[in-house]
Amino acid sequence: MSLFFKGGRKLAMRQLKRITVDPEVMGGKPCIRNFRVTVDTIVGLIGAGKTTEEVLAAYPYLRRDDILEALSYAAWRAEEIEVSLAS
């Protein structure tokens, strides 16, 4: 079991509908709607200077909301500290 903390308080993340995690898809990395496109890929492309329109052209089955949710998820993960608890 893991809890996520920031500044000594538990973080709550809004429900994400477009980010999926499945051990059978991309080794369990967070993906966009079970496609073989990881959150890391989207964040990397945006970080490298690609526009949303360029990303959507490269992955025509994605939607603008997919990219926005991937960025939200990555920002949330970047702010957390994971604390493992003994079971």
Task: Tell me the CA distances in angstroms from 1 to 17, 23, 28, 39, 80, one per residue in order.
Answer: 22, 17, 17, 23, 15
10 assigned to some structural domain:
yes
Range of the domain at 28: 2-82
Tens digit of each residue's pLDDT, the chain (87 residues)? 334 455 555 545 567 899 999 999 999 999 999 999 999 999 999 999 999 999 999 999 999 999 999 999 998 888 766 666 666
pTM: 0.74
Q: Residue 13 belongs to a domain with what CATH number? A: 1.10.10.10
Q: Is 55 within 8 Å of 42 (Cβ atoms)?
A: yes
Question: Tell me, what DSSP letter sits at residue 26?
Answer: G
Q: Is 31 within 8 Å of 37 (Cβ atoms)?
A: yes
76 assigned to some structural domain:
yes
Range list of β-strands (E), 1-87: 2-6, 9-10, 19-20, 31-32, 81-84
